[in-house]
Amino acid sequence: MEIVYALAIGTLAGGGVWLLLRPRTFQVLMGLTLLSYATNLFIFGMGRLALHKPPIVDAVSGTVNPSLYADPVPQALVLTAIVIGFATTALFLVVLLALRGLTGTDHVDGRES
Amino acid sequence: MNAILRHLIVLPIVVPLVTGAALFFLAEARRGARIALATLSVGIQLAVAAVLLYLTSDAAPYIWPEGVGAYAIGAWPAPFGIVLVVDRLSALMLTLGAIVALATLIYSIARWDRPGQPFHSLFQFLTMGLNGAFLTGDLFNLFVFFEILLAASYGLLLRGGGALRVKLALHYIAVNLGASFLFLIGVALIYGVAGTLNMADLAGRAAALEPDDRALLDAGAAILGIAFLIKAGCWPLNFWLPGSYSIALAPVAAAFAMMTKVGFYAVLRLGTLMQEYETLGAALFYIGLATLISGTAGMLAAKHLGRLVAYSLLVSMGILFASLGLRIEALTTPVLFYLIVSVLTTCTFFMLTGMTDRTRETDPPVSSEDWEQEGEPVYVAYGIKEPSVHHEGEDIGIVIPAAIAFLGMVFVSCVLLVSGVPPLPGFLAKFALLSTILHSAVSNGTATSTWVLCAAILVSGAASIIALSRIGMRLFWGIASRRTPRLRLLEATPVAALVLLCLGLSVAADPVTQYLEHAAYSLHQPDTYIRTVLSLDTRQKSGEQ
C-alpha cells in the first residue's frame, strides 16, 4: 500500500512541477492544483497509513489503547491545507482571467514568445 | 491586573481580525468612519506592541520574569493546543510592524485608498498575518498566518490594475503558492518524524531522535527553510521580488517591507530553537552572500527608483542572512539592529518613490501605457465600468510648501541610510556588524569568509551611493520634463516621522542596543522559551484561580 501511495504522490508532484513550468497560464494553474493534491496526500500519509482505525476515540470505552486509533492531527492539517490551497488557487484563477482579458493572450508573460 | 496583562498577547491578532471584518460592513461612502476605524486598530496594535516590549524587558519582571510570555488559545495545554509566545524578539518585531503599518496607513489615506477594492480590510488582514506569524509558537499555525498575510498581499498588490501589474501579480501568486506547498511538505515531514508541531516541544524532541530519524527531520527543516528563503527573497529564489515590489502602489510596497523580514524571523526563530545552525549555517552564508552580490548588481543596473529600492531590500536581506550564516553569537545584536534600520529605510524609501513618481511628466516610471490604464483589473478585464465614488482630482488635506526641497531632504536621508553614512543609524548598524565580524575574526583566527563578507558589505555600500546618486541626479536635477508635485500633509508627515525616528534611533542607540542584547541572549538560551511554553498548563490554572 505504501509503495502505491508513494508512487501516486510522486506522479502527481512530477506532473505538477512539469505543468508549473509551462508557458500557458492554465497549465500553471493545473500544475498548482496537482501539486496541492500531492502535498495533501503527503500530509495525510505522514499520519501513517492504516486500515480500519477510526481517528476519534470512543467515549464509552474505559482505557484507551492508542494503537487502535489513527492519528487525527494530519487529518485536521490536511483539511486546513485543502481549504487554504483551494481558496488561493481560486484567486489565481481570477487573476489568470484578468490577465487574459487585459492582454488577449494566455501566455504567463502577457505576450507570445 | 496581571491576568488582564496576560491576555494582551492575543490582541495583536484579534484587533485587526475584528476591524478587518467590520470594515466590510461599512459603506464605501462613509470614508471618514472607515479611516478612523482602521487607524484606531493600528494605533491599538502599536500601543499593545509597546506594552509587550516593556513587559518583556527587564523593567517589568513581575509578569514574565524571564522575558518570555506564553498564551494558550482556548486554554488547551501546550504541546496539544496552539500557543502564542511573546519574547523580546517577537515584541520587537511586533513594534516594528506596527510602526510601519501606522506610517503606511496614514500615508495611504492621502490618495491611495480610493474605492474599488477593500483596501482597509486587506490592510488589516496583512497586519494580522504579520502579527500572528511573529507571535505563534506552533509550526502549522505559522503556515496559516503566512497564508493570511500572503492572501492579503495578493489583493493589495493588484491594486491600481493595469496589464503589467496583473502579470507580475500572477507571477507573485504562482511563486508564493509553490512556496506554500514546500512549507506544508516540510511541516508534514517534521510532524511525521517528531510527532509534534509545537516549536518548543519540537526542540526538545529533536535532540532525542535516532540518527536515521534525525536525517529525515533535517530534510524537513531544510524544505521548510527553502520556503522561508523564498519569502525572504534570497538568491536564487528572488527573481519575482524586484518586479512585483516595484510595481506595487507606494504604500503597499512600503507595507511589504516587513514581509520579507517574516521569512528572516522564521529562520532565526527555528534556527536558534532547534539549534540547526551547525548544519544550515554554511549554506546560509553563501546564500546570503549571493543575494548581497546580485542585489548590488541589480541596484547598479536599475533605472527606476522603485526597482532600485527593491534591490536595496535584497541587499539588506543578503547582509542579514550572510551575517547569520557566520554563526557568531555576538553578531545577533548588530544583526537585529540592522534589521530595524533596514525595515524603516525600505518603508520610507518606498513611500518616497510614490511621491517622486509624480514629478515626471514625459518619462513614465516603468513602461508605456500601463500607468495610464488605471482601472481595477477585474473591471477592465470584464469590460465593466469601474464604480467610482472618489474622483482623481479631489484633494484631501493640506498641501505642503517647498515640495521639491522636502523630497530632496528625504531622498538624501534615505541614501545615507542605505549606504551607511553617519549621522543616520545605517552607519551605526553597518559599523556594529563590521566591528563584531572583525573582532571575532581576530580572536578566533582569520577565516576567509569573514573578510569576504566585510568586503562585500563595504563594496555594496559604495555601489549603492553610486546608483542612488545617479538616480537622484536624474530625479531632482534633470531639467527636462519635471513638474513640482503637490504633496499632502498626510503623505509628508509619516515619511518625515520615519526619518526622524531613524535619527532618534542613532541618538538612542544605547538603550536600543541593550534591549537587543537581551533579546539576542534569550534567543541563544532557548531553554527558557521551551520551559515557559511547556509549563504553561499549570501556570494558566493558577492564574485563573
Q: Does the distance separating the beta carbons of B162 and A87 come in below 8 Å?
A: no
Mean pLDDT of the region A27-37: 93
* Residue A113 within any structural domain of the chain: no
- Indicate the pLDDT class of residue A39, thresholds 50, 70 and 90: very high
Complex ipTM, two decimals?
A: 0.93
CB B472 within 8 Å of CB B404: no
Q: What is the pLDDT of residue B208?
A: 82
The reply to whether A86 falls in a domain is yes
Give the pLDDT of residue B398.
Answer: 65
pLDDT over 60 at B388, yes or no: no
Interface test with A, best of B159, B164, B167 (most A CBs within 10 A): B167
By Cβ distance, the residue of B167, B189, B382 closest to A109 is B167
- B contacts of A14 (beta carbons < 8 Å): none
CB atoms within 10 A of CB A65: 8
Chain B residues whose CB is inside 8 A of the A89 CB are 177
Average pLDDT of chain B, as a whole number: 82
> pLDDT over 70 for what percent of chain B?
86
User: Which residue among A25, A77, A80 places its CB closest to the CB of B170?
Assistant: A25
Closest residue to A108, CB basis, from B154, B170, B377: B170
Q: Distance, in angstroms, between B163 CA and closest chain A CA?
A: 6
Is the per-residue pLDDT at B363 higher than 60?
Answer: no
- Which comes out higher in pLDDT, residue A83 or B211? A83
In this prediction, residue B114 has a pLDDT band, given cuts at 50, 70 and 90, of low
pTM of the model: 0.89
Q: Are B199 and B138 in contact (CB under 8 A)?
A: yes
Q: What is the mean pLDDT of residues A57-72?
A: 76
Residues of B in contact with A80 (CB under 8 A): 140, 144
Look at residue A16 in the predicted model and tell me its pLDDT: 95
Boundaries of domain holding A9: 2-52+70-103
- Note whether residue A59 is domain-resident: no
Tally DSSP H helices, then E strands, for chain B.
23, 2
Q: Which of A23-32, B380-389, B493-502 has the lowest mean pLDDT?
A: B380-389
Question: Residues B263-285: what's their mean pLDDT?
Answer: 80
Q: Give the residue-averaged pLDDT of B314-322.
A: 91
Q: Where are the domains of chain B?
A: 301-363+398-525
Q: A25 CB near a chain B CB, below 8 Å?
A: yes
CA distance B480 to B362: 9
Q: 3-state class of B72 per DSSP? A: strand
Cα B518 from chain centroid (whole Å): 21
Compute the count of residue pairs across chains A and B with CB atoms less than 8 Å apart: 105
pLDDT tens per residue across span B170-182: 999 999 999 999 9
Can you tell me the distance from the alpha carbon of B152 to that of B130, in angstroms, rounded to the nearest whole number? 11
- Give the model confidence (pLDDT) of B404-463 as tens digits: 788 888 888 888 888 888 778 888 888 888 888 888 877 776 678 888 888 899 999 999
Looking at the 3D structure of chain A, how many domains does it have? Answer: 1
Across chain A, how many H-helices and E-strands are there? Answer: 3, 0
Mean pLDDT for A40-61 is 83
**Is the residue at A77 inside a domain?**
yes
d(CA B151, CA B145): 10
- B298: its cell numbers: 541589480
The three cell numbers locating residue A27:
497549465
Instruction: Please indicate, yes or no, if residue A57 is contained in any of the structural domains.
Output: no
Smallest Cβ distance to A73: which of B189, B191, B383? Answer: B191
- Domain assignment present for residue A110? The answer is no
A88 contacts chain B (CB < 8 A): yes
Angle in degrees, CA B217, A87, B179, rounded to 5: 35
Is the CB of residue A108 less than 8 Å away from at least one CB of chain B? yes
In a domain, A98, yes or no: yes
Chain B residues with CB under 8 Å of A104 CB are none
Average pLDDT estimate for B17-32:
84
